[in-house]
Amino acid sequence: MKNLVVITVVSVLSALISVSVYKHFEEPQEVIIREQAPVRYTNYTDDLLSGNKQRTFLSSSPTNFTKAAEAVTPGVVNIKAYSGGSIDWWSSNYGGSSGSGVIISPDGYIVTNNHVIEEGNQIEVTLNDKRKFEAKLIGTDPSTDLALLKIDADQLPYLVFGNSDSIRVGEWVLAVGNPFNLESTVTAGIVSAKGRSIDILEGEYKIESFIQTDAAVNPGNSGGALVNTNGELVGINTAIITRSGRYEGYSFAVPANLARKVIRDLKDFGTVQRGILGIGIDEVNSELAEDLGLNSVEGVYVTRVTKGSGASDAGIKRGDVIISINSLKTSTIPELQEKVARYRPGNKVAVEYIRDGRKYKTDVVLKNKSNTTALVGENSMLRDLGFELRDLSDSERRKLKTEGAYVVSITRGSKIERTNMDPGFIITKVNDRTVKNVDDLISLLKNASGKVMLEGVYENYPGEYYYAFPI
């Protein structure tokens, strides 16, 4: 026990002597403690990776969204559509559809999704200040899922269109809706991707080139606004991908540049003026890129060119790869379709393409589905009756062994719609007189009076069909 005490005392004395000697010979040092500045984003690196250092990244957009939200919410409205009868608007089960809309002019024009109002013939709009209006349907475009409404009001708050081409992946955006009875909702997220196609729309001429974001969009927000941090409208919120029926991180919006053109057409003509190149297209994959000697796997491959089309007139051929429209890249089919869909028949677009490893540019005059530059609705009779027509192609005439006028689309609420005619009907006779083409049909209608009987066929249904209406 005595030995243990002696050892402990000797150890303590040795330590004290060592510290005293060190302090005597070592000069005093000043220690400074610095507070490190906060870093928004740090790229953590491993010391084994030579040349890599920590860096900071500052977002190009502000992360304070209050100004944008305050500016935008008054211009986003609630929309309810129903089919006749009385309705309890406060009930969640009123037998109609509900969504959001965006005021785009002070005199009451409102854009929303077609699927929000397609099931109803009566539409009520509730403003952010709780005023209610009955809305008139100006026109719809199922190929982009857009619709244009009008309410009888003025001096309304409205949203200004931004340039959807300028938004970048990773940029902050806000999704603003007016769902159910919640008045308004604002959620924030970033642009996840551009030019997305999710195969939700129908029809030969559907346009799917969505802006994908992770801003929360739930049922009731369809038709609402996607805005940048300046409060500019860059998209119309349209769809989500979900397994549960609720938001799961994927929402999609129609780009504002496309929406603006569709809305202008609906306002001016009641229908969309669709300009087309007149080509068949396919994606460029790695094998095709290698076969064609392309430097990258992007662009749109031309599989066929319609005779007499704008593309044919401009010298585009099968096997060409289109890489831009009016200097805007077209890396994928959705991007090409969206860029072209911004223009009307008769408009000229600059097309850049690759052929045999070399780049070329040419100007293409867009045409319509009938392969002319005429605008739909230029003939007031067809516009008033409510349908869009085109001539049958040579292949359709051979296959069907008939001539006639093909019904491309029918305007909601029109005389033609009330006959229960469907798009795809081929008119072969008017009041028992033969119709060879659209010009024949127009001539016969101009000379008709009283009751008109249209006779014709559908490609996939046997027998003849008849539709009558007064003129």
Say yes or no to pLDDT of 35 above 80. no
Amino acid identity for residue 190 in this structure: I
234 and 177, same structural domain? Answer: yes
Catalytic residue among 98, 100, 115, 312: 115
| 35 within a domain of the structure (yes/no) | no
356 and 384, same structural domain? Answer: no
Query: Whole-prediction pTM value?
Result: 0.68
How high is the pLDDT of residue 20? Answer: 56
Range of the domain at 216: 164-269
Cα distances (Å, whole numbers) of residue 329 to 223, 303, 335, 373: 27, 19, 8, 25
Any catalytic annotation for residue 115?
Answer: yes
| 334 within a domain of the structure (yes/no) | yes
Catalytic residue among 98, 143, 145, 331: 145
Phi, psi of 254 (to 5 degrees): -70, 125
Please tell me the distance from the alpha carbon of residue 196 to that of residue 110, in angstroms, as a whole number.
25
User: Which of 210-244 are b and which e, b meaning 16 or more Cβ less than 10 Å from the residue's Cβ?
Assistant: bbbbbbbbbebbbbbbbbbbebbbbbbbbbbeeee
285 and 264, same structural domain? Answer: no
| 64 within a domain of the structure (yes/no) | no
Mean pLDDT confidence for 33-45: 29
Any catalytic annotation for residue 222?
Answer: yes
261 and 294, same structural domain? Answer: no
* Interacting residues of 283 by C-beta distance below 8 A, sequence separation 6+: 300, 301, 332, 333
For residue 30, name the pLDDT band (cuts at 50, 70, 90).
Answer: very low
Q: Which residue, 118, 150, 182, sits at the end of a domain?
A: 150
Please tell me the distance from the alpha carbon of residue 352 to that of residue 363, in angstroms, as a whole number.
9
| 224 within a domain of the structure (yes/no) | yes
Over the stretch 96-116, which tens digit does the pLDDT of each residue have?
Answer: 788 999 999 999 999 999 999
Say yes or no to pLDDT of 300 above 70. yes
The label of the residue with tokens 């340039």 reads 163
Determine which helix (DSSP H) or strand (DSSP E) holds 355, and give its type and residue range: strand 348-355
| 466 within a domain of the structure (yes/no) | yes
Domain count, the chain: 4
Over the stretch 147-195, which tens digit does the pLDDT of each residue have?
Answer: 999 999 999 999 999 999 999 999 999 999 988 666 789 999 999 999 9
Q: Which residue, 150, 180, 208, sits at the end of a domain?
A: 150
| 23 within a domain of the structure (yes/no) | no
How high is the pLDDT of residue 73? Answer: 94
Task: Write down the H helix ranges in 26-80.
Answer: 66-72
387 and 325, same structural domain? Answer: no
How high is the pLDDT of residue 10? Answer: 53
CATH of the domain at 329: 2.30.42.10
| 38 within a domain of the structure (yes/no) | no
312 and 259, same structural domain? Answer: no
Catalytic residue among 197, 222, 309, 409: 222
CATH of the domain at 139: 2.40.10.10
Please tell me the distance from the alpha carbon of residue 189 to that of residue 249, in angstroms, as a whole number.
10
Q: How far apart are the first and last CA of the chain?
A: 125
| 41 within a domain of the structure (yes/no) | no
Amino acid identity for residue 186 in this structure: V
How high is the pLDDT of residue 120? Answer: 80
Please tell me the distance from the alpha carbon of residue 441 to that of residue 424, in angstroms, as a whole number.
16
For residue 76, name the pLDDT band (cuts at 50, 70, 90).
Answer: very high
DSSP string, 161-230: B--GGG--TT-EEEEEE--TTS--EEEEEEEEEEEE--S---STT----EEEE-S---TT-TT-EEEETT
Over the stretch 217-226, which tens digit does the pLDDT of each residue have?
Answer: 877 889 999 9
Q: Which residue, 122, 150, 178, sits at the end of a domain?
A: 150
305 and 263, same structural domain? Answer: no
